[in-house]
Structure 1
């Protein structure tokens, strides 16, 4: 994971029936720079439309794309589709600039990344919705249609910010699992992970701590390093003097737990449904199965499970390899799938660097994964000046959007208690017209995925509450 972002983006894809037909991609001439009146350059931005449920004077539902390819599966499945059936909405999804097939520039060089920002993305939405309502879909009269935006995770933030900055365009916003407060050191992330693991019993975190304590000791012992390399299937031999490799090792092994907790039992299905059956219970069952041997062996067993699940031959943990991969600027590289872009956004706007700086977490002491580790990546991947300016970048983001004091109406903020991102979100009502829904027992964006019989009552109630608010907004 890169700052909480797995491959494909923070929001997964809903399950669809085999052979289900998704709408074709369409492309719109989007402005490159909305904030330079002398720049008339345009590019092709991808979007999808589903008009199956549209009724006369029905609303326009807009799903906001995020830090990964826009997945057309969302055009035929998910809770928003159920809302569209109820309210006769036309559904549109706009892919975020720089992700998927929406390439505003020739490559991902630092010079070209200057047009990648949340502010440009919001302006994209405004420009697109205005075009779509009045010119883009002439087969229907949409000029008087109400507009409701939907987003999960970072797009959830965009949904809330769009309503705040462009209230004359959007009539209501669903901002699911939306981190609206930018923060350089996101130490609360591991605090929530720890609390989630505690729900299985106190032994899980205790055994993780025992394992990571031994891992740190073995890293410094020449006679133990070969055993550590073998147990964790490391791609490269350990260079004990390289502190950055130590950070990478502890960060990547902790990510085995972070990724599972973030999406625990949320009914998502990435392509091929890889890993969706692994839950925090799965991992804690391994950590507390004393027949497997020592705590460090059990922690390594978790690592092996994740490597095998994702068909990875070994654990790549070295800093040099990370930087080498993230410096690739072509769209077809692994970094170009979204990692290079998202890392840039966190460096330039948000922070959200998940560190070990929370003192009571079990994944190793703070010096095994400090926030400075991510800050140094910003410097080494892009430009050395980032290291000194990130704090100012984060502060400016909060000044612009309002941070926790965001001024907004007609927005709902659903968050799950198991989702680490709720710590950066809105979990209490801002006002009677900007409400929070805190869903105990659910993870990242759970309310967006298709309903199932095993859904918790609070999750069922949350979906109903959102439906009622949408009804109110479109009247």
Structure 2
């Protein structure tokens, strides 16, 4: 079973920073944190396109669209260009426009060429297209990523980029200003798709959001809870208990001042400074996501069972011994020690260069700005119903937001940004028609998505046994009966939104 880690996740700034250190670019080996954590950053984007994917269709064409830097200031006439791709391979005269909404990554043709949405487009005779999100890839409205320039990194600006581009495609590319429009996205792209339908029902005829986080929250404690449930489901209760024991033992040792034991067991570059609460929180957050990254490597959920086999090996007498041995072995080739310096860690978040590897590859600073000002999704360990201890709190994420973007980001400002996002888009009660929300039962993003919804030509479905983004893949003989039902549901709703089907080959 394939999965993403969620971004939302699909995250939070700490996660984002760990990503950069994990990537190993322009960073000495001795100062690297474990690799693979970028998988966790992509939680809000669901499944990302495969790295290095090159278009397989000669009909996929590149384009550039000119958009306003600020859609809401008539006195500001500044413009920028963003990338897009389109493909008319399946188009039949009078057919609709199918859009794969881009997220926090450079534009990529993968989902336009390889997905269930593509298959439905072929049946409907649709023109396919996908866009590049502002501030990603080669689509920058400003010369750098200073806090001042990031003020245009707002969901409302992104939606107007999308809508004005769609109007251009219909008129200038398709030559059909009356073409119907269906949006689709996974993770954050799915959120944008459903929000666009909500805001522009006269332009968007329907939207399918897969694993779409729509409820912003400062405390995304459900993420750790859901991961714990997945460990029980796909690993074992014994594995869950081992992890629980390891994290709580480490907490007790640190609280008792036994930091030398922790530093030795986990090979930290410097002793854990118990007088620095941010460093303590960083240690536990890094341990949690290092473990989770190993479990979801290559989006393969079967890795959970393999990791659990290692953690429950009889060779180790305690959970802490098992966890430290596993992480040391797992990341031995990529780091010589574990760097827990908050100052070193935060400097990668403060790089305003649009060409910095962390910003190019992972969108570190630009996506982090949205977390701090609009979405939150700070993955804390405040719930008792998860195995990763209790040390990761709001203090760490607030400190990161302030260090990266300025002290103006007070607790009240962050809370207000999250509140307004939910107020503007309705969170889990958007009162929207012609929309479908799909989630996997084993998807941590499910907690901030919509799992039950009834409105006119609208629905929500949770697929038993599925993880994030499985429902967007083409129908396969490997699909479970439940997953097949979800894919058929998506096709049926899209067909209904469009009215009478164009294709004479529909079953």
Give the TM-score taking structure 1 as reference length. 0.90
Q: Note if 1:93 corresponds to 2:130.
A: yes
- 1: CA distance, partners of 2:436 / 2:294: 26
Counterparts of 1:161-180 in structure 2 under 5 Å?
161-180=195-214
Query: Deviation of residue 49 (structure 1)?
Result: 1.1
CA contact (8 A) 2:84 2:132 kept: yes
Q: Is the 8 A contact 1:178 1:421 kept in 2?
A: yes
- Tell me the distance in 1 between the aligned counterparts of 2:332 and 2:480: 30
Aligned match for 1:460, one of 468, 484, 495: 484
3-state SS of the aligned residue for 2:487?
helix
Q: 2:248 aligns with which of 210, 213, 216?
A: 213
Change in 2 beyond 3 A, CA 1:282/1:455: farther
Structure 1 CA distance for aligned equivalents of residues 193 and 347 of structure 2: 34
2:387 match: 362
Q: CA RMSD in A?
A: 2.4
Q: 1:361 to 1:279 in 2, by over 3 A?
A: same
Match of 1:58 in 2: 95
1:282 matched to 2:306: yes
Q: Tell me: CA distance 1:331–1:15, structure 2 relative to 1, closer, same or farther (3 Å).
A: closer
What does residue 270 of structure 1 align with?
Answer: none
Q: 1:183 to 1:18 in 2, by over 3 A?
A: closer
- Count of paired positions: 458
Q: Residue 40 of structure 1: which of 55, 66, 77 is its match? A: 77
Cα offset, 1:202, TM superposition: 1.5
- 1:423 is matched with which residue: 437, 440, 447? 447
How far residue 89 of structure 1 moved from its aligned partner, in angstroms, is 1.3
Which deviates more from structure 2 when the two are superposed, residues 355-364 or residues 440-449? 440-449
Name the CA distance, whole Å, in 2 between partners of 1:174 and 1:404: 15
1-structure distance, mates of 2:294, 2:441: 14
CA distance in 2, matches of 1:190, 1:177: 17
Unaligned runs of 5+ in 1: 265-272
SS in 1 for 2:409: helix
Further displaced range: 2-11 or 453-462: 2-11
Q: In 1, distance between residues paired with 2:265 and 2:355?
A: 33
Quote the residue 2:427 is aligned against: 403
- Please give the residue correspondences for 1:74-223 in structure 2 after superposition, counting only pairs within 5 Å: 74-135=111-172, 137=173, 140-199=174-233, 200-220=235-255
Instruction: Give the direction of change, closer, same or farther, for the CA distance of 1:24–1:132 in structure 2 (3 Å limit).
Output: closer
Q: 1:47 to 1:393 in 2, by over 3 A?
A: same
> Are 1:386 and 2:409 counterparts?
yes
- The equivalent of 2:503 in structure 1 is none
Query: What is the CA–CA distance in structure 2 between the aligned matches of 1:248 and 1:16, rounded to whole Å?
Result: 28
Whole-angstrom CA distance in 1 between matches of 2:330 and 2:455: 43
Does 1:234 pair with 2:268?
Answer: yes
Q: What secondary structure, in the 3-state scheme, does the structure 2 residue paired with 1:374 have?
A: helix
Structure 2 stretches of 5 or more lacking a match? 1-6, 17-37, 500-507
Relative distance call for 1:144 and 1:419 in structure 2 (3 A) is same
Alpha-carbon shift at residue 230 of structure 1 (Å):
4.3
Task: State the Cα deviation string for residues 446-470 of structure 1 (Å, max 9, x = none).
Answer: 2123444333221121111101111
Structure 1 residues 139-197: Cα deviation after superposition (integer angstroms, max 9, x where no partner)? x4332221000111111111111000011111000011111111111111111111111
User: Do the aligned partners of 1:16 and 1:73 also contact (CA within 8 Å) in 2?
Assistant: no
C-alpha distance in 1 between matches for 2:302 and 2:144: 36
| Counterpart check, 1:73 vs 2:110 | yes
Q: Return the alpha-carbon distance in structure 2 between the equivalents of residues 18 and 157 of structure 1.
A: 24
CA contact (8 A) 1:260 1:278 kept: no
Partner-residue secondary structure (3-state), 1:347: helix
Please, which moves more after superposition, 56-65 or 315-324?
Answer: 315-324
Identify the residue that residue 460 of structure 2 maps to in structure 1.
436
Instruction: Indicate conservation of the 8 Å contact 1:13/1:71, yes or no.
Output: no
TM-score after normalising by structure 2: 0.84
SS in 2 for 1:356: coil
Instruction: Give runs of aligned pairs for residues 332-371 of structure 1, distance below 5 A.
Output: 332-337=355-360, 338-365=363-390, 368-371=391-394
- Structure 2 vs 1, CA of residues 173 and 230 (structure 1 numbering), >3 Å: closer, same or farther? same
Cα 1:331–1:314, aligned 2, differ >3 Å: closer, same or farther?
farther
Residue number in structure 2 paired with 1:374: 397
Report the alpha carbon displacement of residue 315 of structure 1 after superposing the two structures with TM. 3.7
* Contact map agreement 1:14 1:77 (CA 8 A) in 2: no
| Residues 42 and 204 of structure 1, relative CA distance in 2, 3 Å threshold | same
When structure 1 is superposed on structure 2, of 185-194 and 289-298 the one drifting more is: 289-298
Question: 1:221-300 to 2 correspondence within 5 Å?
Answer: 225-259=259-293, 274=298, 276=300, 279-300=303-324
Between 273-282 and 52-61, report the one with greater CA deviation.
Answer: 273-282
Cα drift, residue 304 of structure 1: 3.8
